[in-house]
Structure 1
Amino acid sequence: MNDPTSDKQIAILADDFTGANDAGVSLAQCGMTVDVALSANYVSTAQARIYNSDSRALTASDAAQRVTALTQKIVAHGAPQWLVKKIDSTLRGNVGAEVAAMLQVCKAPAAIIAPAFPTAGRITRNGQCFVHGQLLTDTEFASDPKTPVTSADIGTLLAAHSRAEIRYLHAADVAAALATASASATLLLVVDAQSDAELDEIVAGAESATSRPLLVGSAGLCDALARRLNPCVPRTVLAVVGSMSEIAQQQLAWAAKHPRTEQVFIDINTLFTPAAAEYRQRIVRILVSGRHCLVHTCPDTQARHQIAALCEQQGVSRSELGERICAFLGALTRDVLREAQPDALYLSGGDVAVAAAHALGAKGFSIRGRAAGCVPWGYFSGCLWQRPVMTKAGGFGDETTLLKVLHFIEEKSSD
C-alpha cells in the first residue's frame, strides 16, 4: 500500500465549504496533507487538494459553468491520480449538471456515482437513495427550503444533463463495467452501496481500471478512498460496563450500532467456573481484530430484577455478590490488557472502575479532560497501563454517550 507521505495527488471538487471539509477529514486522519482552497487561485503543495465551487444553490447552468472553470484549473496543473466530485449524500444541489461538466473537461471514460454514506444512515439500493430506511423523496430533504430534492433516483438526475449511457450496478460489478468504457462512449455507473465494505469494493474496482474514472460521491466514498490509499490501524476501545442501570443498557445498545463493535455478555452464573476463561480469549480476539469490545453483565432490563434470586442461589448478600462481580471484571480487564493493547479503556460503574484500577495496580488517576459530557478521561498512574482511561457513573449520560466515547478515541490524535 502507499506510504501516507508519498506524493499522492488527489483533487476533490465539492459544492459547498462544509462538504469540502467532510471530504478531506479522513484523508488527513490517515496521514495525508490536505488543503481546502477558498479561492480558485489558491496554491497548494498538499497531497490532497479540495476545491469549493459554492454552487449548490445556483441554477444548473450557472453551477455547470462554475464547475467547468474550476475543473479546467485543476487539470491545467496536471491530471491528478484521483479526481473526485464530492456531492451531498441526499442529492441536494446540481448533481447531474456538475457531473456532466466535470466529465466534459476531464474526458474520463466513466464516472462512478456512489453517494451512499452508510454510517450516516444514507444508502443506495436499486439506484435510489434511502435515508434511515426511507426513500429520499419521503424525507425532509424533499422539501429542503433552499435546495429541495426532486428525485430519489440517481439516474434520473444524471439523465437530465447527459446523453451518456447510464448503468445501474452492484459494487462487485464495477471492475468489469469499467473495462468496457472508452473515451468515445462515456459510461455513468450508478453503484449501489449499503455498507462501508461495498464502498471499499467500489474504490478497489476503480483503482484496477486501465483509465481512472471520475469518482462521484459523498463523504462515505471519500472515506473509502482514504482507506484504500492509506489504510489506518483502527483505534479500539475496551469498554467494561458493570452498571445494570437502564441508561447504561441503552448506551450499550446505541454503541452496538457502530459498524466496528462486538459485545461480550458475561453471564454472572459462570463467573467462578472453568468456562469463565473463555471470556478473556474472546475479548482478546475481538480487540486484536481491530474492533471495539463492549463487555457487560446485564443482558436486558429484566436481569436486574433477578439479583435477589441469584444471591439466594449463591448464598451471599447483594453486597457480597457485587464485590465478587467487580473483582472478576477487574481481574478480567487486567488479564485482557496483558494480551491485547486497545487504544483506551472505558469503565462504567464506580465499583467496576475501582476494581479495575486496583487489579492493574494503579496508584492514582491523572485527569486530562472530558471524552463526552459526563465522561472524564485521563491516565492511571503507578501501573504499566498508560493509555487513556475513561470512567462514567452508571446512571449518567444519555443513550449516545458510549457511542460518543468511541468516536472520541477514534478521532483522538496520539499524545
Structure 2
Amino acid sequence: MKLGCIGDDFTGSSDLASMLAKNGMRVIQFSGVPEGEAPSDVDAGVVALKTRTMPVDEAVRCSLEALDWLKAQGCEQFFFKYCSTFDSTPQGNIGPVTEALMDRLGAENAIVCPAFPATGRTVYQGHLFVHDKLLSQSGMEHHPLTPMSDPDIRRWLALQSTRAVGHVSMSAVTAGPEAIAAAIRSETAGGRPLVVIDATSDADLRAIGAAARGMPLVTGGSGVAMGLPAGLLGAGALHSVAGDWRGEDGPAALIAGSASTMTRAQIRRWSETNPALEITADAVMDGSATPDKAARAAIDSSSPLLLYSSADPETVKAAQDRYGREIIAARLEAFFAETARLLVAGGIRRLVTAGGETSGAVVEGLGLTALRIGPEITPGVPAVAAEGRPLVLALKSGNFGDEDFFENALTTLEGRP
C-alpha cells in the first residue's frame, strides 16, 4: 500500500476512494480501523471514520489510530479527507486532527485544499465558493450540524488551530508545480505551516498533487487527490477499474437523510414518478415510525422505494428545538441503520443512501468492514461492492449529484453503463 487515507465520514471516504480509483489506483475503503493486514493488491487504503462532528479529543484519537494502522501497511504518503465544503465549526476538529497527524508523522507542513471543481467547489484568494456563491451564501450556512458562516478557509481554520495558517495564491498555482512547491516552502519558513491553496480547475489540482510529491501529509477534499496516484505509482503502473465491475441486478431500495438542497431536489425528482415514503422526526421520536415498518414497505414495494427524512431547514430546526440537535440526529441514524439491516436481510441487493451521517450509519448497521471501489456514478460518488457479500451500494454526500442521481445510481449498481 502506497497511500494511506483517513476520511472523516463514510461518503467523503467513498468520494476520495472513487477519485483515486478513477486516477489509476486499486482501492479498498475500510469501515473503521481494520484488524489485521490489508490485501496485498491494494495501492491505496481509505479508512472511513465518523469523526466529522466528534469532539476534538475523540476525533484526534480515532484519526491517530487510523494513521498508525496505515503506517504499519507501509504507506509512503498520507491524506486526511474532509468535506469539500469544509464542514466544521469554530470549535471543530479539522485543525486539531491535521496538527495531530503532522506531529505523529514529523511533518513540517500540510496542504489544505478543499476544492473540488467538478462539483462546483473552488478556492480563490483563500475563500471557498460553491458554484458562483460564497460558501456562506450557498445553503451551507443552514447545515444542521456544521453551519458554515464564513467562506474564508484561512480564518475558519485559524480558529481551530494552534499553528499559523498560510496561503498559496492562484498566481503561484497557475505557474505550475515547482512554483507551488516553492510557495509552500516559503509559507512554512515564514511560520505558517498550514497552507491553504487556491484551486479553480482540475489542472490546478493536478499541479498541486505534483507539488505534493514527497510531502508526508496532504489534506482536503477528494479533488486534490487526483494528482497523487501518478506520483506514487508512476504512469506505467496505473490501473483501470471499469472492466472489473459486475454489479447486482436484485431488488433495490433508497434511503435519504440529508437535509441538503440537492438531496431535497433529488427526492422531489424521484417522487414525481417513483414511490417514496417520508419518515418524519416526530414519527421516529414518538415510535409511530419503526425500522420494521419502513423496511417492510420497501421490500413489499413493486419498484424501488425511497425512504427519506430530509426536510427544509425550518422543519429541521423546529425538530432540533423540540428534541435537541444531537438526540434527533442519533435517533434518525439508529433508525436508518436498523432499517438497512432489515432491508438486506429481506433480500435487497442494491442500496442507495444520501447524506454523510446517514450513509455512515447504514454501513455501520450492515456491519460492512471493507468495500471494493467500482465505477463512478457522478463526480465524488462511486459504486461500491461489499467484500464477500452479494450487495452493492452508492453512498452519497448530501449535495453531490444532479437531480437524476437516484435513477442513475440504480442503473450503475445493476452493472449497466
Q: What TM-score comes out, normalization by structure 1 length?
A: 0.50
Other-structure match for 1:117: 116
User: 2: CA distance between counterparts of 1:136 and 1:218?
Assistant: 14
Verify: 1:152 aligned to 2:151, yes or no: yes
Would the alpha carbon gap of residues 193 and 412 (structure 1) be closer, same or farther in structure 2, given more than 3 Å must change?
farther
2-side partners of 1:66 and 1:183: how far apart?
A: 30
Residues 1:133 and 2:132 are matched in the alignment: yes
Q: Distance in 1 between matches of 2:190 and 2:119?
A: 37
The 1-side partners of 2:188 and 2:113 are apart by 20
Assess if the C-alpha contact under 8 Å between 1:109 and 1:183 holds in 2: no
Matches within 5 A, 1:198-209: 198-207=204-213
Letter in 2 for 1:50: V
- In the alignment, structure 1 residue 39 sits paired with structure 2 residue 32: yes
Q: By how many angstroms is 1:184 displaced?
A: 11
**How far apart, CA to CA, are the structure 2 residues paired with 1:175 and 1:190?**
13
In the alignment, structure 2 segments of 5+ residues that lack a partner are 241-376, 379-401
Matched, 1:26 2:19: yes
Deviation at 1:110, TM superposition (A): 1.2
Deviations 1:294-321 (A, max 9, x none): xxxxxxxxxxxxxxxxxxxxxxxxxxxx
Do the aligned partners of residues 44 and 130 (structure 1) sit closer, same or farther apart at CA in structure 2, a change above 3 Å counting? Answer: same
Q: Which amino acid counterpart does residue 11 of structure 2 have in structure 1? A: T
Contact 1:17–1:54 under 8 Å retained in 2 = yes
Distance 2:230 2:416 in 1: 19
Partner of 2:225 in structure 1? 222
The answer to whether structure 1 residue 90 and structure 2 residue 85 are counterparts is yes
List runs of 5+ in structure 1 lacking aligned partners.
Answer: 1-7, 235-370, 373-398
Q: Is the 8 A contact 1:127 1:190 kept in 2?
A: yes
> Would the alpha carbon gap of residues 412 and 144 (structure 1) be closer, same or farther in structure 2, given more than 3 Å must change?
same
AA aligned opposite 2:67 = T
Aligned length: 238
Does the alignment pair 1:212 with 2:215? Answer: yes
Q: Is the 8 A contact 2:127 2:151 kept in 1?
A: yes
Cross-structure match for 2:4: 11
Q: Which has the larger radius of gyration?
A: 1
C-alpha distance 70-90 of structure 1, shift in aligned 2 (>3 A): same
Shift of 1:20: 0.9
Q: Check 1:150–1:102 CA distance in 2 against 1; reply closer, same or farther (3 A cut).
A: farther
d(CA) in 2 for partners of 1:226 and 1:413? 26
Distance in 2, matches of 1:14 and 1:183, equals 29
In structure 2, what is the Cα distance between the partners aligned to 1:164 and 1:400? 41
Which residue identity does 1:155 align to in structure 2? R
Report how far residue 212 of structure 1 moved.
Answer: 1.3
With the length of structure 2 as denominator, give the TM-score of the two structures. 0.50
SS at match of 2:160: coil
The 10-residue stretch of structure 1 (122-131 or 57-66) with the greater mean CA deviation from structure 2: 57-66
Aligned to 1:56: 52
Cα RMSD (Å):
3.7
Contact 1:110 1:181 in 2 (8 A): no
Runs of 4+ aligned residues of structure 1 deviating over 4 Å after TM superposition are 180-186, 227-234, 411-415
Match status 1:72 vs 2:71:
no
- Which one scores higher on RCO, CA 8 angstroms, separation ≥ 6? 2
2: CA distance, partners of 1:184 / 1:138 = 33
Could you tell me which residue of structure 1 aligns to residue 301 of structure 2?
none
CA offsets per residue over residues 140-169 of structure 1, 9 Å max, x none? 111111222243221123222333232211
Q: CA deviation at 1:213?
A: 4.2
Compute the displacement of 1:70 (Å): 2.3
CA separation of 1:206/1:144 partners in 2, compared to 1, >3 Å: closer, same or farther?
same
- One-letter code of the match for 1:74? L
d(CA) in 1 for partners of 2:13, 2:195: 23
Distance change in 2, residues 1:184/1:194 (3 Å): closer
Give me the whole-angstrom Cα distance separating, in 2, the residues matched to 1:18 and 1:39. Answer: 13
CA distance in 2, matches of 1:27, 1:88: 16
